[in-house]
Amino acid sequence: MPTPTRSEPQDPNEAARAARSEWRHRQLLDAAARLMERDGFHGVSMQALAAEAEVSVGLIYRYFGGKDDLLLAVIVDVLDAFAAQVPPAVRAGTDPVERIAGAFRAYCEVINAHRHAAVLTYRESKSLGTEGRAKIKRLEIETSEPLREALRAGVAGGLLTDVDVELVSQDFLLLAHGWALKRWYLGQTMDFEEYVVKQTALLLGAIVRTQHRDDYSHLLRPAG
């Protein structure tokens, strides 16, 4: 029997450099999202981005090819977060309705953590080139598939009405983004948790079959 091979321990200096690079990449993405949301993509210069991130212009070019590349990276960052967080939330349960609720919460949590970037996606995705827009569309379809799969399972299992899965999945996604787009107003009367709970009840209340409503009273009629 061959002797199992061990992975070589990572060089501490290399690990430190990788951590610094990852931190710097995040710093630039967050600064770009804040500034582009505030001033618009075309109203932002690389000098302004450098000032916002408190780095040199040259350092930005070490990570990104230019402003277009940075805008695409900001938007893709949100979709990457969907890809990382939504599937585990959906797989956490076997009941389709619970999985749908878990997916919606995961979408909302990503949006809440990337509010500036989420708003920027709506305002400035048109500024991307053809290739960039195609990538965004492809990633949006891929990252919403876990939700569509749970919706299809709910319909097939007789738990949901015979809904248009494509349409309803987009309704869920739009309401998740709604926290970023309308937080300036909704935040006056509710916090993030209340938003998620109320929207979950609203959405599921429209599609769960009447005979199954009592089974999901914790989602459809949450306490408080």
**Using one digit for the tens of pLDDT, what is the confidence trace for 184-209?**
999 999 999 999 999 999 999 999 99
Tell me the pTM.
0.82
Tell me the domain boundaries of the chain.
12-214
Structure-token pair, residue 217: 């009273």
Q: Which long-range contacts (CB under 8 A, 24 or more apart) does 193-201 make?
A: 195/108, 196/104, 196/105, 196/108, 197/222, 199/104, 199/108, 199/175, 200/101, 200/104, 200/105
Q: Is the pLDDT of residue 3 over 70?
A: no
pLDDT in tens, 127-157: 888 898 899 899 889 999 999 999 999 999 9
Q: Is the pLDDT of residue 2 over 60?
A: no
Query: What dotted CATH number matches 12-214?
Result: 1.10.357.10
What is the rounded average pLDDT of the residues 38-66? Answer: 88
Q: Residue 196 and residue 97: Cα distance in Å, rounded?
A: 15
Binning pLDDT at 50, 70 and 90, where does residue 13 land? confident
What pLDDT is stored for residue 1 in this prediction?
46
